[in-house]
Chain A
Amino acid sequence: MNNNNFIQGYCRIKDNTVLKNGELLFSEDSGTLNEFLKLAYQHFQTDYSKFFKMDRLSKLGFLCADVLLNNLKENNLFQENTAIVLANKSASLDTDRKYQKSIEDLDNYFPSPAVFVYTLPNICMGEISIRHKLYSENSFFIFDAFNADYLWEYTNSLLQNKKADSVLCGWVDVDEDSYEAFLYVVSANGNLNHTKEEITRLYFTNE
């Protein structure tokens, strides 16, 4: 498979920190993931009121993508036909549990439509697409652990078959107290080679 693709940039949100291309952009010890994400939202002057309606998985993926894609936009590197390929381990379990709680008491049965709409992990990609006006291919996969091989192959396939000019890909996972987002953008231009080894290295170096 053609491997003349490059990683344009990457972003990680984990352990109350936001890093872009290995550079620490924001760090704040806060009580909960929601509190941390709100502080990060304010820090980056995101100005997108629908953010507060999202579930935690979408907020996490949305913020990580926003940092990354806004940086590409500022450098005139953003491409409109950017596909999205995401993966995680917990799907939408975090919100599924919340929804389940709202319907388990039949004497107090008031299912929330606003919670229900987030009981699919791919809604996270929808939020990113709406924000950045992406009308592109998107797929969300569930794996036991970060799967660099699959993301590499699927991304190359999209680019090689001209389904997209660039691909936003990576891992976005939330489950109870555990969370992690690691996103990167692949296109024909960039500084880092798009290889399975490089993706794995970036993911595990925790930068």
Chain B
Amino acid sequence: MSELKQELKEKIIEQLNLEDVAVDEIQDNDPLFGEGLGLDSIDALELIVMLDKDYGIKLADPKEGRKIFESVQTMAAYIEANRSR
């Protein structure tokens, strides 16, 4: 799980072009949206694509993303439980 969280932090920084954020600045429970990393709605769509592309998870209802993308911790837990690759 901790490896997955590390991997997710690296992917988030790279795929969302967070050039001024370092991996160790993202805490597992930091909110990804709002006051945390300040991600926006386009970032949310990118994260949905990332789940599909890298972990084989298709979100049937994009509204599910609200809970899943709360933090790296919630993302990792969801991926662990649902990944097909």
Residues of A within 8 A of B (CB): 38, 49, 52-53, 110-114, 117
> Interface size bucket, B side?
10 to 19
Which chain B residue has the least Cβ–Cβ distance from A41?
Answer: B19
Residues of chain B within 8 A of A53, CB atoms compared: 16-17, 42
The reply to whether A49 and B49 form a contact with Cβ atoms under 8 Å apart is no
The reply to whether B18 and A112 form a contact with Cβ atoms under 8 Å apart is no
The reply to whether B42 and A113 form a contact with Cβ atoms under 8 Å apart is yes
Which 5 residue pairs are nearest across A and B when measured between Cβ atoms? Answer: A113-B45, A52-B19, A52-B17, A110-B53, A53-B17
Residues of chain A within 8 A of B45, CB atoms compared: 113-114
In the bound assembly, the distance between CA atoms of A49 and B20 in angstroms comes to: 7
Q: Which of A38, A49, A52, A117 interacts with B42 by CB under 8 Å?
A: A117
Interface of A is mostly: helix
Number of A-B contacts (CB under 8 A): 30
In the bound assembly, the distance between CA atoms of A111 and B43 in angstroms comes to: 13
Q: Which residues of chain B in 13-56 are interfacial with respect to chain A, using CB atoms and an 8 Å cutoff?
A: 16-21, 38, 42-43, 45-46, 49, 52-53
Which chain A residue has the least Cβ–Cβ distance from B52?
Answer: A110
Which chain A residue has the least Cβ–Cβ distance from B47?
Answer: A113
In the bound assembly, the distance between CA atoms of A117 and B49 in angstroms comes to: 15
Residues of chain A within 8 A of B52, CB atoms compared: 110
Q: Which of B20, B38, B42, B53 interacts with A114 by CB under 8 Å?
A: B42
In the bound assembly, the distance between CA atoms of A148 and B20 in angstroms comes to: 39
The reply to whether B19 and A114 form a contact with Cβ atoms under 8 Å apart is no
The reply to whether B18 and A114 form a contact with Cβ atoms under 8 Å apart is no
Residues of chain B within 8 A of A110, CB atoms compared: 49, 52-53
CB distance from B37 to the nearest CB of A (A): 10
